[in-house]
Amino acid sequence: MGAGFAGIGFAIKLTQRGVRYALIERGASVGGTWRDNTYPGAACDVPSLLYCFSFAPNPDWSRSYPLQAEIRAYLENCVERYGLGPNLRLGNGVAAARFDQARSLWQLNLDDGSQLLARVLIIATGGLSRPKLPQIAGLEDFKGALMHSARWDAKVPLAGRRVGVIGTGASAVQIVPAIVDQVSQLSVFQRSAPWIVRKADRPVSAAARARNRRRPFRQRWRRALLDWAFDLRVLPFTRLRASLPLIEPIVALKRRLEVPDAALRRALKPDYRVGCKRVLLSNDYYPALGRPHVDLVTSPIDRIVADGVRCADGQLRALDVLVLATGFYGAEQGPPFPIEGRDGRALDRVWAGGGEAYLGTAVGGFPNLFLLSGPNTGLGHHSVIAMLEAQFGYLIGALDWLAARPGAVLEVRAESQQQHQRWLDARLARSVWNQGGCKSWYLTDSGRNTTLWPRSVRAYRRALARFDPVQYKTSVGVPQSPQQ
């Protein structure tokens, strides 16, 4: 389920192994988050070299940090290059999934009313697909144009208009500098200030791209080096948390240099440890806020009214366009559609207190179901594609095991899952994400971190290097033939 980075990458692996599969996507095209997020300035804050599959390198990145349109084009190209088309079903999502115990098959009800049977169900629907609207009174009263960053409407004119942006996360810091030159007045509503570091972004010359094509090993070793260097960055967020107060003044130097106005600089000072929320990369966000027609509003929003936003300071910021860069349902997110496992277990009830999965991939009570980008597999220091690739290898191991045993079922043992969860919770309890004095989308309302992996990518690769059936209850059923 899901033809974003996870689904496409795994479909390549399945195609290469000759596995019969369907890649089901509710949208009309592939690309997942990189299809949906088309706001001005949308780009990735992970270097291009790490933001593609190691088995499908891209010599043609135009910049050292890729742009949304080229990441989307890369994924579309992967579909073509690896011949995924015949297995791809676009424009028809899964409405509900139920494990049929008698037949040991997953029964999928699709949006168009049709049904599908599958031996194995793989959820690759991602964590950033459901835009979160802010809980602000009067949102429905606004009479101007209102849009969430992930549902950008390019037809809404911005030129010469008064625009408001609510939020100062990864999306907002890209939108604000991208639109600042067009608008007549820009109000940025900040609830908490982000930590921002330099983005070492530069164009990749045509000559360098040609070299990449001629000598692919050049990109391979540079990627290996970057992979290793980036992985070290997990240490200050976890084991070496004590180093963060030493790092903060260095990061703050950028603010000093780029924000000459002392009052604005004070307003932009984060009140939590660096790394607690995602550290943002930008070279033009601070300069944009310093422009005369830009207003950083730190007074809390009181309510939204027909012609703008009223804040606790009593002022009305009159607006023509209001952008909600308010993020996604993350940590508290349940499954993407109702999923019923063994003995009528509903995944949303099992996950009511936050998502849990053995190694982020398997959930007790849900046989032959696996997750890509499942709970606690996100990163704050490296590329999530590195995590996906580890999951691909592990899942292929599980599928090989199943392929050798027609009709058999794999269900992760409750003890294995609980032991993994205890280990995760203990590790995360000491991390900056849990202890850094902030509330982020990494945490559930009750403060559980169900989003991030607390160690290096290397450690995750080691944990998933080999599929170990000992961690699973296995049963050999009657061989069935799933139809497609």
Question: Closest distance between ligand NAP and the C-beta of residue 382, in Å?
Answer: 12
| Subset of 284-323 contacting ligand NAP (CB under 6 A) | 301
- For the beta sheet containing 145-148, the strands, ordered from the edge strand earlier in sequence to the opposite edge, are 145-148, 321-324, 162-166, 185-189, 294-297
User: In degrees, to the nearest 5, what angle opens at C-alpha 32 toward C-alphas 26 and 38?
Assistant: 115
> What is d(CA 102, CA 467) in angstroms, rounded to the nearest whole number?
26
Binding segment toward ligand NAP, per CB under 6 A, in 111-119, 134-142, 225-233, 408-416: 134-142
Structure tokens at 57: 């390198």
Closest to 118 in 3D by CA, of 484, 404, 398:
484
Under the binding rule (CB under 6 A), the answer on residue 441 touching ligand NAP is yes
Binding segment toward ligand NAP, per CB under 6 A, in 91-99, 127-135, 226-234, 405-413: 127-135
| 459: exposed, middle or buried (Cβ count in 10 Å: 0-12, 13-18, 19+) | middle
Closest to 365 in 3D by CA, of 404, 417, 403:
417
Sign (positive/negative) of CA torsion 474, 475, 476, 478? negative
Total residues interacting with ligand NAP, rule: CB under 6 A: 26
Beta bridge partners of 197: 281
Three-state secondary-structure class, residue 186: strand
| Subset of 142-171 contacting ligand NAP (CB under 6 A) | 149, 166-171
Binding segment toward ligand NAP, per CB under 6 A, in 14-22, 44-52, 339-347, 416-424: 44-52
Three-state secondary-structure class, residue 175: helix
CB of 238 closer than 8 Å to CB of 381 = no
Question: Closest distance between ligand NAP and the C-beta of residue 167, in Å?
Answer: 3
Interface residue with ligand NAP among 172, 294, 323, 464 (CB under 6 A) is: 172
Interface map 176-215 toward ligand NAP (x if CB under 6 A): -------------x-xx-----------------------
Under the binding rule (CB under 6 A), the answer on residue 238 touching ligand NAP is no
Q: Which one, 71 or 369, has the nearer CB to ligand NAP? A: 71
> What is d(CA 74, CA 308) in angstroms, rounded to the nearest whole number?
39
Binding segment toward ligand NAP, per CB under 6 A, in 40-48, 93-101, 156-164, 201-209: 40-48
Question: Closest distance between ligand NAP and the C-beta of residue 168, in Å?
Answer: 4
Under the binding rule (CB under 6 A), the answer on residue 134 touching ligand NAP is yes
Sign (positive/negative) of CA torsion 41, 46, 50, 56? negative
Interface residue with ligand NAP among 24, 52, 97, 128 (CB under 6 A) is: 128
**Residues lying near ligand NAP in the complex (CB under 6 A):** 43-46, 128, 134-136, 149, 166-172, 189, 191-192, 278, 301, 325-328, 441
